[in-house]
Amino acid sequence: MLNKFKKLLKKIIFISLFSFLVACETTYLPKPKGFHRIDLPLPKYQVLKEKHPYTFNYSSYAVAKQHTSKTAEAHWIDIVYPQHRAVIQLTYKDLKGNKIDFKNKNFLNELVNDSYKLTSKHQIKAYAIDETLIKTPSGKTATIFELEGDVPSQFQFYITDTTNHFLRGALYFRTSTKNDSLAPVISYIKKDIIYMLNSLDWK
């Protein structure tokens, strides 16, 4: 009887010790990849002082530069955010005197169609393109396109008075960082663009 009791006691001790060791075993899992912290300053704005047929307020943390591509025209400029490697590319067209192009079509319609074509080029990578009309405080109407997905340009727009001026813009990031990581900056600059459009005046 005593031997049976000892054997039973040994089994209980063995099972308890085994359970304790299993419970104490630590399983290490790799940490999920996180996003870099991006500190964004409170928005501040400055007036575009360069001589163009338009003026607006843009971020004080950005720099206005002349667009330098081979096809650039006189009033094409870049609003550059050096800290975030972002740029708002602005292309301007003078409608006055250019209402009819060489194909005998309405010049404004051509520019509007081109804006839609340039936006639709991102459809391969975009899983959504939202189009919105906004009315500025001065009564101007702007068309904006918000693109979702891993696209090169996440925000585009055009604004026109339909008789003299046409301005198109597109936001780009000169970085390989994924848009998920850039989301706070994209949202921040989108607000700057809306502010810019709301403050825009033609000259």
- CATH number of the domain residue 83 falls in: 3.40.1000
93 to 154, 168, 193: CA distances (angstroms): 22, 9, 19
Q: Rounded to an integer, what distance in angstroms lies between the CA atom of residue 189 and that of residue 185?
A: 6
**Secondary structure of residue 182 in the 3-state scheme:** helix
Residue 160, domain member (yes or no): yes
Better-scored residue on pLDDT, 18 or 172: 172
Over residues 82-106, the mean pLDDT reads 79
Q: Rounded to an integer, what distance in angstroms lies between the CA atom of residue 40 and that of residue 60?
A: 13
- Are 185 and 62 contacting, i.e. CB atoms less than 8 angstroms apart? no
Answer whether residue 96 shows pLDDT above 50: yes
Strands 45-47 and 57-59: antiparallel
Over residues 111-136, the mean pLDDT reads 87
Answer whether residue 114 shows pLDDT above 50: yes
Residue 93, domain member (yes or no): yes
Predicted TM-score (pTM) of the model is 0.77
Better-scored residue on pLDDT, 22 or 185: 185
Residue 63, domain member (yes or no): yes
- Are 57 and 195 contacting, i.e. CB atoms less than 8 angstroms apart? yes
Reference 81, options 119, 32, 41, 122; nearest CA is 41
**Total domain count, the chain:** 1
Domain span at residue 80 reads 45-202
DSSP letter for 61, please.
T
